[in-house]
Amino acid sequence: MFPKQSVWLIRISLIYFLAGSSLGALLMLNKAYVLSPEIWKFLPLHFTILIWGFFIPLIMGTAYWMFPKYLSIHPRGSIWQAWWMVYSYNLGLVLYMITKFLIPIESLALMGKFLMFLGLVTFMKLAWARVISYNI
């Protein structure tokens, strides 16, 4: 069965894909028909949305679903840690993008990066335990 955490990670990544692709289309449209030179300041946001908002959660959601399962009652590990992975990563990414591109408060950007880091570490913990001990 497809875990809910994977479903939500993939859904959110597809929302980021739409946002990043729309921003990219706007940038390419500006390249063909000069709308405003100010639009190019959104290029780093475009990269951030597509790499950190689309690729990484898509990989995390797919890997969380496909890695070998435990032979126990909780086949993918702790449920609350999996939800923590989803929430902390996405909250950290949104906080980072808001503080980096809209409201420049460096301490909140650092907190966003830290939440993303915690989400990634939680994912690695959940995945690594399933890779090295298949029979538990």
The token pair that represents 10 in the structure block: 């993939």
- 130 confidence band (pLDDT: 50, 70, 90): confident
Amino acid in the structure at residue 118 = L
Q: What's the predicted TM-score (pTM) here? A: 0.89
19 and 45 in contact (C-beta within 8 Å)? no
pLDDT digits 0-9 by tens, 69-112: 776 677 788 889 999 999 999 999 999 999 988 999 999 999 99
